[in-house]
Structure 1
Amino acid sequence: MAKTLGIQRFSIPGRRRILAALAGGALAMAAPFAWAADGPLRVVASFSIIGDMVKEIGGEHVALTTIVGPNGDAHSFEPTPRDVQALSQAQVLVINGMDFEGWLPRLIKAADFEGAQVLASKGVTPRQLNDAAHGKPSHDGHDHHGDDDSGHVHHGDVDPHAWQSLGNGMIYAENIADGLSLADPENQASYKKRAQAYIEKMKALDVEIRQALDAIPADKRKVITSHDAFGYFAQDYGIQFLSIAGFSSKAEPSARDVAAIVDLARKEGIAGVFIENTTNAKLVEQVARETKAKVGGTLYSDALAPADQPAATYLGMFTWNAGQLLYVLQPTQ
């Protein structure tokens, strides 16, 4: 398989081989706005994944501030005075939307922000929360634990984690390029060129992941994760993710919920369990002990890793996650 991205770090040789094989109108404006070219366009991104996309597309023409940083949990985030100040000085705000940033309206009001808002997810086909879980019928009704009246974060009627599809990532890139271009027409050619190069990398990685998964039988592509953040990834690649919690990482599953997941994992021969970088690992470790399933390490769902780690970029995150999953799902030699 062609090596296109060149990101390679794993402590386990099998994972290193897999990763090396893999690595190889969006603008909603409060008022008409174009930034005078007296310096970089000041842009605020709502969380780290969106921030990395803005960085890739904006390059030197953008001065970026990211509100929820690496390993940050956007579900439980609370804005600080520093965030208010950053947004009050910004010309453009780039967000995911789909009710993901529940704290954002309060921040916009506190900052009295009247600049351009770029909705990165505009045009994405949303995954409905009442759809069959991960493209397959729910076995026990335990796939949406966070969507009750217990104080957990609600996401309306759609799954907001649309960036977990590279196809959607391409839509995000186009929307961000369009938004930056409208706010800063002088550098439109640069934004469009960088976005297209970025999209080509996404296309190449998508092909590599699909080719790698071809060797794994469809009925063996079953894993457990902390919360339900990988539905779009599941739809793209035919992997069944069983989540211990619901769509919000703040959801607290009951003992009955955990027992049901353990029972289901035993019945269906789950290949492995994964910890997410923004969630508590204790429940995942408990399920792994009780099912004797392989522990697959960390997956990145709602936030990137710090700058010195392989999953510190959107493409790096996707490459890392795919490598982790393929290592666990591949047949035992």
Structure 2
Amino acid sequence: MAGADVVLVNGLHFEGFLQRLVDASATKATIAVLTKDVTPIDFKPEFADADAAEGADTGSGKTVTDPHAFQSIANAKIYVKNIADAFCAADAQGCDSYKANAAAYTGKLDAVEGEVKAAIQSIPQEKRVVITSHDAFGYFEHAYGLTFLAPQGVSTDSEPSAAEVAKLVKQVKQDKAAAIFVENITNPRLIEQIASETGIKVGGTLYSDALSQPDGPASTYIDMMHNNIAQIKGAILGS
């Protein structure tokens, strides 16, 4: 980092460690905040405490701002523009190339966004509800009309008790979710129990804060969006 010309950051307090790294490196690089011009949204109240470390402090002691703006493809296009602008500012001679690359990639994002919208439209309105254990999809929900709910009362630090499992099963039934993606519950027997007692399909892996390994299904941003919408649609519609 000490020799960098530009440092790209998500912003919205997503990288809590980054300022310390910048200070320690004594870098002279320009810090480009990729969420510049993005309209931020808040975490849902039920997630606010669990995700406090990822949000922005409002000054009242309550951390509510959701930093996962990239889960909206429209926001990803803003990221691309901000990256190109930062590179142009650092390297004027290469600016035409940066802008051309940004335009080409934005075209790919347009195509992916069309696919995501079409996939959501193919899901009946009453089935556009899924459960995840981590509130990383608020921007996706806001942009595309799919509702993400959170299982409450299950600790990720230990094996859930019978009472906690019963509470989760009750919530799933009440929320009438069409699929469940629980990132933090890794015990397959527990997932099978929830599926058995609720009749809800268990989906595959949704990628949120990070990409997969290079040989995985979500090694790029576009692959991540393809994977997530395919998993959601497949779990709900059985395709």
State the TM-score bracket (shorter-chain normalisation): 0.7 to 0.9
Task: Show the counterpart of 1:106.
Answer: 20
Which residue of structure 2 aligns with residue 115 of structure 1?
Answer: 29
- Displacement of 1:103 in angstroms is 0.8
Aligned twin of 1:176: 83
- Per-residue Cα deviation, 1:30-53 (whole angstroms, up to 9, x for no partner): xxxxxxxxxxxxxxxxxxxxxxxx
1:125 aligns with 2:125: no
Structure 1: distance between partners of 2:100 and 2:49: 42
Give the deviation of 1:251 after TM superposition: 7.0
Per-residue deviation, 1:299: 0.6
Higher relative contact order (CA 8 A, sep 6+): 1
Counterpart residue type for residue 311 of structure 1: A
Compared CA separation, residues 311 and 226, structure 1 to 2 (3 A): same
Per-residue Cα deviation, 1:78-119 (whole angstroms, up to 9, x for no partner) = xxxxxxxxx122221100000010111111111112211111
Structure 2 SS opposite 1:158? coil
* Higher helix residue share: 2
Question: Which sections of structure 1, spanning at least 5 residues, go unmatched?
Answer: 1-86, 134-140
In 2: Cα distance, 1:291 partner to 1:181 partner: 53
Partners of 2:219 and 2:79 lie apart in 1 by: 18
1:145–1:251: 8 Å Cα contact kept in structure 2? Answer: no
| Aligned residues of 1:93 and 1:115 also touching (Cα < 8 A) | yes
Letter in 2 for 1:270: A
> Partners of 1:228 and 1:218 in 2: how far apart?
21
Deviation at 1:204, TM superposition (A): 1.1
Deviation at 1:295, TM superposition (A): 1.2
Q: Secondary structure at the match of 1:113?
A: coil
CA contact (8 A) 2:71 2:208 kept: yes
Shift of 1:231: 0.5
Counterpart in the other structure of 1:89: 3
1:137-176 deviation per Cα after TM superposition (whole angstroms, max 9, x unaligned): xxxx6333415xxxx6251231000000000000000000
Give, in whole Å, the separation in 1 of the partners of 2:27 and 2:72. 30
Matched, 1:146 2:50: yes
CA RMSD of aligned residues (A): 2.7
CA 1:328/1:282 → structure 2, altered by over 3 Å: closer, same or farther? same
Matches within 5 A, 1:130-279: 133=44, 142-146=46-50, 153-156=53-56, 157-244=64-151, 259-276=166-183, 279=184
Give the drift of 1:243. 2.3
Amino acid at match of 2:2: S
